Chain A
Amino acid sequence: GQQVMQIPQYQHVQEGEDFTTYCNSSTTLSNIQWYKQRPGGHPVFLIQLVKSGEVKKQKRLTFQFGEAKKNSSLHITATQTTDVGTYFCAGLHRGSQGNLIFGKGTKLSVKP
């Protein structure tokens, strides 16, 4: 079936270091969304990318959508302890009925 692969599964960084998580789909996506889930919380929408090659920024977070619309990345510059949580990508496959396919997430821990 349709899958969205996300790596790495875990990432431990020192506060101030950068962090990147990658998302790959075997099929072309209509769009991709990113969510953040704090420990003990629920996923919260961060952003949606729709266009091929699109790049969006939110303060220290940079989101990219690949030219082929099969991969995406989230990069955090100079991590802070408030960035701790699990980051999920979720893809909407072309021809799907509207349900997102979530990656398994990257769990980020930040050492102060």
Chain B
Amino acid sequence: DAGVIQSPRHEVTEMGQEVTLRCKPISGHNSLFWYRQTMMRGLELLIYFNNNVPIDDSGMPEDRFSAKMPNASFSTLKIQPSEPRDSAVYFCASSFSTLGTSGYEQYFGPGTRLTVT
């Protein structure tokens, strides 16, 4: 039974380049979350989709970040242009939940370690 799948696992890019991170949630899950983890700021929620619709994107740092979920089995997080301060581990997580009700456990992918030089 496949868990949450993320690609790439590691990405090294130069400042100014576009970066696209990909996520395949667990089949049947209807909620998808993108997180960023750094030593300084811990685990931060960037954006949350429910049934493919963005519900809360207040954590998206700025216009350089964008996320899409074109269907229930795929999501992307794009950074354009990338900056060194974007270096972090980016996690995708999925769960089955209903808006406004008690939450269900989130299943995290292995993460993408992004380094921007």
Contacts and interface: CB of A to CB of B under 8 A. Distances in A.
Q: Is A bound to B?
A: yes
Interface residues of A, number: 24
Contacts of B98: 98
Interface stretch (B14-22, B68-76, B80-88, B99-107): B99-107
Given A42-B109, A42-B111, A44-B108, A99 B91 contact: no
Interface residues of B, number: 27
A42 B110 contact: yes
Contact of A33 (B48, B91, B103): B103
B102 A99 contact: no
A105 interface: yes
Given A97-B55, A104-B42, A43 B102 contact: no
B106 A45 contact: yes
A42 B100 CA distance: 26
Contacts of A43: 43, 91, 93, 106, 108
B13 interface: no
8 contacts: A30-B103, A33-B105, A33-B106, A42-B108, A50-B102, A97-B55, A104-B42, A105-B43
A31 interface: yes
B66 interface: no
Contacts of A65: none
Interface in A18-62: 30-31, 33, 41-45, 48, 50
Given A43-B108, A48-B103, A95-B100, 8 more contacts: A31-B103, A43-B43, A45-B105, A45-B107, A98-B31, A100-B45, A102-B43, A104-B43
B41 to A, nearest CB: 8
B97 to A, nearest CB: 5
Interface of B: 31, 33, 35, 42-43, 45, 48, 50, 55-56, 91, 93, 97-111
Interface of A: 30-31, 33, 41-45, 48, 50, 88, 90, 92, 95-105
A104 B45 CA distance: 12
Contacts of A97: 48, 50, 55-56, 99-100
B42 A102 contact: yes
